[in-house]
Structure 1
Amino acid sequence: MKRSSIFLFLVFTMILLLYSCAQVPDSNAPVSQKVLVKVQVNRPAELQQETKAYISEVDKVFLEVYDSTDRLMYSASTNEKKNIVFDIELPAAGTYTFQAEAKRVDGSVVFHGSRTVSLIQGQNQVIINTVFKNGELRVTVDIDPIVWGRYEVESASVEIVRDTTQDSSTIVLTIDNPKTIDTREIYPDIYTLKFRISLKARYLNLDPERWSNEASPVTVSVPIDPDRITDVEFTVYFENNVINAAAVVTNVTVPYAEPVENLSAIWSPFEEKLYLEWYHDRTDAEFYIYKEISDRYYEFVAKTRERKYEISGFDDEQFHRISGVAVNAVVDRKSSGFVVLKKNDITPAMELKWKVEIPNSTISPSIGPDGTIYVADSDTLYAINPSDGSIKWTWDVEEGYFTSNYGVCPVVGSDGTIYICTEKFIYSEEQSTWICHVCAVDPNGTLKWRYEINDRGSIPAIGSDGTVYVAANASLYAINPDGTLKWMYTHEQIESSTVETSSPIVGSDGTVYFGASYTDSSPEAKLGYLYAVDPSNGQLKWRYSFDRPVSEFLAMGSNETLYVCTYDPNRPLEYQVGCLYAINPNGTLKWKYELNYYPLQPIVGFDGTLYLSGGKIDYQLNRFIGFLIALNPDGTLKWQKEVDNHVLLTPALGSNDILYVPGVELVDPYTVLKGYLFVIDPKQGEILWRFELEDTTWDWLPSFPTIAPDGTIYILDSYQLYAIRSVSRGLADSPWPKFRKNVRNTGNVLDD
């Protein structure tokens, strides 16, 4: 027991000694510290200069920290894009690598930077300067099979010029195949690329033996964006058997910068200039102008900081070569992509080629196969040179006769023969009558033959076999090309009535259509009819009746649909109403459209749209209101244009889908009129341009225009014949683009 007590005492004593020997910590001794780091990420220097290039694309900025063994020690992200700071804590002092990346939503990198530093215990600061991540330029040279088969490439290169610094480098291309691709990493900016290529013929006697665009390289401006691919294709191809080179720009589709607005262009053929204008709200924007070729290729023209530009040397060949013009806005090194104005939307500045003074009563000039222009006044037929307006020859109608008051309109056959109707009124106490002569005149101005009709004759129509059709009173005459009668159809006439006939037209199967209106002593009995007559025998195929008289001129659309206007003879002009009927080729009604004005002949566009003009008088306001409407092929309204104090007449449609509408402004409603030829956009009816004609009177309204294949518009006003340069290449290839269908005024749907 005693030994046990002693043992316990000794153990207790040793514990006390050990405790007493333990060191008590000093409150002033240093404490073990971790590594604290403030990381500041500076945006690229370009952004520090108050530009905004690409910053709007950044989604988040990411930071990763690696130790000396490349072990990831820390990662974080922030949505902050301007003052980018991370406060982090690391476990120990040592060497660390800091990597910062600003990324888009899709994970691609906009700018990046890294820094390796040695950190100590306590507080540290790390500044990371960043740069934009390189983009990729992928250049493709595509040589079409014809060029490649005939020529080998002697040399090819792409000069790359950085627009902001004008630093340049050149890629020398080795082209062993028709398609060559070269890829380069380039620092983001706007670059101008100049593609040069020289070709040598593979065979003898090839023309040209050599070809090069060294003096005028294909130039295109492209944006190189961070961590993205920009594709530029240079193509070498044949166009009209001539070697050409052009650029095709793709992947410039994301609208990084705001595009230009209200891009418009006016082409002046006489000055050979194209005037461009647009709007952009950034004063520091730069604009790159291009010609668009074949809806695919782009030819660089120039760059400017103005909001307008004039392209010189823009002649007729240049205009008809392009498919449009384009403007690319560049702001803060960001491109908007191309805003393209298509050629059809370029406004033509019509310009006078010549005008000559000539007496006339012609509804619409005619153009012969050799380009000769034919007009007539009351007693003379004129043949006019298209080059300068000089008179080639005149043909005088026989004594006592005058050109038809139904409408003076020479008609030209495919062989150049000119057909025109003359008439004479023979007074008699017993029975007065009209005599009409259908005259055929040689292209040299001599009379071939004349055929006499005992009534007033219409404007002739010509069948595909050369048959001449003339409507007169109650009859339709078919006259052989030699001047002999082929057949005559006489429709049923209301007793004791007067008949007014419309000029005939000819369908694709040769069927002849014409209208007639009947009147007796009671105005309420006035009726109208449309007749379809078999060309082989003159027999009636069908007849369609109207409750109003039909207007003088008919038109035909696709699928042989006939268009006929009616009017109300019992209403004065200020209360006039009309109606446009669409009649199927079997004589049934397709649809009708009521009008609140007096209508003229419609024309038919590419897609079947009908354009119809007319007008009415508002005596209360002492003004005339001109109308131009567009109807869809199903008879529904597309748009309507009203022009105060104007009369609008039957238009012509150009090959580039532009409406040329003659009209007059009422300077003094009762005495003086001002003639114009309006250029109108057929999409919405907006007036794009107008060409001023002479002052005139109600007796001498402008004629209906015609458009020659070279684009010259011929129109008569007062005592002047005008030749006006236009941007159209002739009439539209549509079912019925003008009065009487074509430049020869044949009224035949098959004639161009």
Structure 2
Amino acid sequence: MKKPLILILLLVNLFFSNSALSQKDNSKILNAFSDRVFNGDGYGPLESLKWKYKTDGKIFSSPIAKDGIVYIGSEDGFLFAIDEKSGNLKWKFKTNGAIHSSLSLFENIIYFGSFDGNYYAVNTKNGKLLWKFKTGGEHWLGEVGMGGMKPETQYMEDLWDFYLSSPVVYEKGKSAFVLFGSSDSNIYSVDAKNGELKWKFKTNGPVHGTPVIDKNKIYVGGWDATLYALEAESGKLIWQFQTGTQTGFKGIQSSVAVHDGKVYFGAREPFFFALNADTGKLVWKYDAENSWILSSATIKDNIVYVGTSDTYALLALDTKTGTEKYRFKTNGWTYSSPVIAGNTIYIGDFTGNLFSLDLLSNGKKSNLTSTENRKQLASSILKNDLLDSGYTAQNTDLSIYDNNKKMMDQFYKLGSILSTPFISNNTIYFGSADGYLYAYNLTK
């Protein structure tokens, strides 16, 4: 599948339960990016819809569940707390901006960011505000005449900048701190209990990537195309690694995976990287065939799994060498991050499909579940059931920004899945651009 025309031109001149499927880490800190491998047995595709909850905005945020409640943020500006069994609303918390960050839980506090420029701490029991921290402002990446699109004098928001940085909690002794990036180019550490600033680290561009903590270090990348390794307690720089800066192929949107002394991540520069975790030196890189990698990787049994943009794939790479073991083809851009339970890997794509793959089949055995919108609209929006920019744009000029925006709005109607699934109590939860939080029973 081809990129929007403008990118083609640029190339020439992106737990807490005892159930069979539950969060693996039983600690009191829980977030969508620290560990995407859940307990489970065998192959467990989606079985039946348990319930779905409608919000009034697209959902890019990833859900999280604990103690019978699943939490999700929406573009309508609300954080929702939904009963896991019934799908009924427990409470909701209003912000003054879209919530594109995912969530972290620590004790009885949930943390998240909003495009109103605040990062919030809210009581999970009643939805009451505990504190909020004001950044220098949150915004989508943008510039005049972005990427050479027309008209050259128009300010343009990046149509593929989907997420805000998601907060993660770092606990040391009796203290705990919340770490997150910001559109104001800083990485922040604030007290988890009161929101007071501990330290901040200045980068050279907006930071919409999510920090990952490992062995008292945090790893996070941003729109300056640099991956940073910082001391978690002090914010002191340990090392940094620069990815490519070619127009249209600059920036890091994914979070890293850390495994066996290496840091793994993808970037808009069309490569997937493995670095030495101590030094930041390149160990290997995988050529993603001019495809952005916005998906965050998941690792199991020395295989790293990650979604790709324009090659429409879930890749399985050898962690030691970067050799491709196999790829599973999806129907469109694959920006959702994969999660694993037992021998099953789950991932969503931009056309509104959620795939369940049997890991023991090397991608040959799979099932898919589609959003209702996709089932109804695929024949009119997709070409041969595949995402095709030119077809959906009705052959309009995709070097013009507004035509790209109209094309993206059409894709969103399918119920694009950019949300990373979460598994709890034999149920998988994920959000969609159709505004729904879905809860599906998993095959036991």
Q: TM-score range by the shorter chain?
A: 0.5 to 0.7
Q: Given the superposition, is the C-alpha separation of residues 691 and 394 from structure 1 closer, same or farther in structure 2, using an over 3 Å criterion? A: same
Deviation at 1:504, TM superposition (A): 0.9
Deviation at 1:386, TM superposition (A): 4.9
Which residue number in structure 2 is paired with residue 587 of structure 1? 235
Amino acid at match of 1:504: P
Deviation at 1:499, TM superposition (A): 7.9
Q: Given the superposition, is the C-alpha separation of residues 661 and 423 from structure 1 closer, same or farther in structure 2, using an over 3 Å criterion? A: closer
Deviation at 1:489, TM superposition (A): 3.0
Which residue number in structure 2 is paired with residue 480 of structure 1? 123
SS of 2:302's equivalent?
coil
Separation of aligned partners in 2, 1:611 and 1:543: 24
Which residue number in structure 1 is paired with residue 68 of structure 2? 416
Separation of aligned partners in 2, 1:582 and 1:741: 27
Q: Given the superposition, is the C-alpha separation of residues 602 and 638 from structure 1 closer, same or farther in structure 2, using an over 3 Å criterion? A: farther
- After TM superposition, list the pairs within 5 Å mapping 1:506-585 onto structure 2: 506-509=169-172, 510-518=176-184, 528-559=185-216, 561-568=217-224, 578-585=225-232
Separation of aligned partners in 1, 2:131 and 2:100: 14
Residue 630 in 1 paired to residue 274 in 2? yes
Separation of aligned partners in 1, 2:281 and 2:243: 12
Which residue number in structure 1 is paired with residue 340 of structure 2? 707
Which residue number in structure 1 is paired with residue 149 of structure 2? none
SS of 2:193's equivalent?
coil
Residue 615 in 1 paired to residue 268 in 2? yes
Q: Given the superposition, is the C-alpha separation of residues 702 and 457 from structure 1 closer, same or farther in structure 2, using an over 3 Å criterion? A: closer
Provide Cα deviations, 1:560-618, integer angstroms capped at 9, x if missing partner. Answer: x11121224xxxxxxxxx111111111111111111143232423332311111234xx
Provide Cα deviations, 1:632-654, integer angstroms capped at 9, x if missing partner. Answer: 01111111121324343434333
Separation of aligned partners in 2, 1:548 and 1:603: 18
Amino acid at match of 1:508: E
Amino acid at match of 1:502: S
TM-score, structure 2 length as denominator?
Answer: 0.60
SS of 1:654's equivalent?
strand
Separation of aligned partners in 2, 1:409 and 1:395: 14
Q: Given the superposition, is the C-alpha separation of residues 659 and 470 from structure 1 closer, same or farther in structure 2, using an over 3 Å criterion? A: same
Residue 446 in 1 paired to residue 88 in 2? yes
Deviation at 1:506, TM superposition (A): 1.3
Deviation at 1:453, TM superposition (A): 1.4
Amino acid at match of 1:548: G
Deviation at 1:422, TM superposition (A): 2.4
SS of 1:463's equivalent?
strand
Which residue number in structure 2 is paired with residue 402 of structure 1? 57
Provide Cα deviations, 1:339-360, integer angstroms capped at 9, x if missing partner. Answer: xxxxxxxxxxxxxxxxxxxxxx
Amino acid at match of 2:167: P
Structure with greater Cα Rg: 1
Provide Cα deviations, 1:341-395, integer angstroms capped at 9, x if missing partner. Answer: xxxxxxxxxxxxxxxxxxxxxxxxxx9966499xxxxxxxxxxx95543211122
Provide Cα deviations, 1:209-230, integer angstroms capped at 9, x if missing partner. Answer: xxxxxxxxxxxxxxxxxxxxxx
Deviation at 1:537, TM superposition (A): 1.8
Residue 650 in 1 paired to residue 295 in 2? yes
Q: Given the superposition, is the C-alpha separation of residues 506 and 721 from structure 1 closer, same or farther in structure 2, using an over 3 Å criterion? A: same
Separation of aligned partners in 2, 1:498 and 1:712: 36
Amino acid at match of 1:421: G
What is the CA RMSD across the aligned residues, in angstroms? 3.2
Separation of aligned partners in 2, 1:665 and 1:460: 24
Q: Given the superposition, is the C-alpha separation of residues 645 and 423 from structure 1 closer, same or farther in structure 2, using an over 3 Å criterion? A: closer
Separation of aligned partners in 2, 1:531 and 1:665: 33
Separation of aligned partners in 2, 1:742 and 1:716: 12
Amino acid at match of 1:592: Q
Aligned equivalent of 1:688, options 319, 325, 329: 325
Q: Given the superposition, is the C-alpha separation of residues 492 and 682 from structure 1 closer, same or farther in structure 2, using an over 3 Å criterion? A: closer
Q: Given the superposition, is the C-alpha separation of residues 565 and 409 from structure 1 closer, same or farther in structure 2, using an over 3 Å criterion? A: same
Q: Given the superposition, is the C-alpha separation of residues 395 and 372 from structure 1 closer, same or farther in structure 2, using an over 3 Å criterion? A: farther
Q: Given the superposition, is the C-alpha separation of residues 609 and 654 from structure 1 closer, same or farther in structure 2, using an over 3 Å criterion? A: same
Provide Cα deviations, 1:112-150, integer angstroms capped at 9, x if missing partner. Answer: xxxxxxxxxxxxxxxxxxxxxxxxxxxxxxxxxxxxxxx
Separation of aligned partners in 2, 1:439 and 1:368: 24
SS of 2:346's equivalent?
strand
| Divergent runs of 4+, >4 A | 367-370, 385-388, 497-501, 739-746
Deviation at 1:743, TM superposition (A): 5.5
Higher RCO (C-alpha under 8 Å, 6+ residues apart): 2
Provide Cα deviations, 1:65-95, integer angstroms capped at 9, x if missing partner. Answer: xxxxxxxxxxxxxxxxxxxxxxxxxxxxxxx
Q: Any conservation in 1 of the 2:190–2:199 contact (CA below 8 Å)? A: yes
Amino acid at match of 2:69: T
Provide Cα deviations, 1:416-461, integer angstroms capped at 9, x if missing partner. Answer: 311111243xxxxxxxxxxx11100011211111111122224342
Query: 5+ unaligned residues in a row in structure 2: which ranges?
Result: 1-16, 24-42, 142-163, 245-249, 362-418, 430-444
- After TM superposition, list the pairs within 5 Å mapping 1:321-470 onto structure 2: 371=21, 386-397=44-55, 401-404=56-59, 407-413=60-66, 415-424=67-76, 436-444=77-85, 445-470=87-112
Provide Cα deviations, 1:216-256, integer angstroms capped at 9, x if missing partner. Answer: xxxxxxxxxxxxxxxxxxxxxxxxxxxxxxxxxxxxxxxxx
SS of 1:548's equivalent?
coil
Separation of aligned partners in 2, 1:420 and 1:741: 11
Q: Given the superposition, is the C-alpha separation of residues 742 and 372 from structure 1 closer, same or farther in structure 2, using an over 3 Å criterion? A: closer
Separation of aligned partners in 1, 2:201 and 2:47: 44
Which residue number in structure 2 is paired with residue 503 of structure 1? 166
Separation of aligned partners in 1, 2:254 and 2:202: 19
SS of 1:536's equivalent?
coil
SS of 2:182's equivalent?
strand
Amino acid at match of 2:112: V
Deviation at 1:551, TM superposition (A): 2.5
Q: Any conservation in 2 of the 1:603–1:612 contact (CA below 8 Å)? A: yes
SS of 2:267's equivalent?
strand
Query: 5+ unaligned residues in a row in structure 1: which ranges?
Result: 1-366, 374-384, 425-435, 519-527, 569-577, 617-625, 667-674, 729-738, 747-752
